[in-house]
Amino acid sequence: MSGQSTVEFLLVAMALAAVCLGMGALWRAARDGRLLALASEAATHNTAAGVVRALKDIMAF
């Protein structure tokens, strides 16, 4: 049973590393402005298509 603790430690260490890498990727995306660009593209009330279309979209709610 001595190998069980080693395997559990490895799994926990890999999960922690994955979380740290994911947070680092989010940090870089936010710092570079890519996260903001993706959020504004995904917004339902994007005014780049025109003010009239944006107002129609807002009034639909």
pLDDT 10s digits, 5-17: 999 999 999 999 9
Q: Which of 38, 12, 9 is nearest to 25 (CA)?
A: 38
Which ranges in the chain belong to alpha helices (H)? 2-32, 34-42, 51-59
Q: What is the pLDDT of residue 3?
A: 86
Looking at the chain, how many residues does it have? 61
- pTM comes to 0.59
pLDDT 10s digits, 43-58: 766 656 677 777 777 7
Q: What is the pLDDT of residue 45?
A: 60
- How far apart are the C-alpha atoms of 37 and 53, rounded to whole Å? 20
Q: What is the pLDDT of residue 41?
A: 75
Could you tell me the residue ranges of all domains in the chain?
2-59
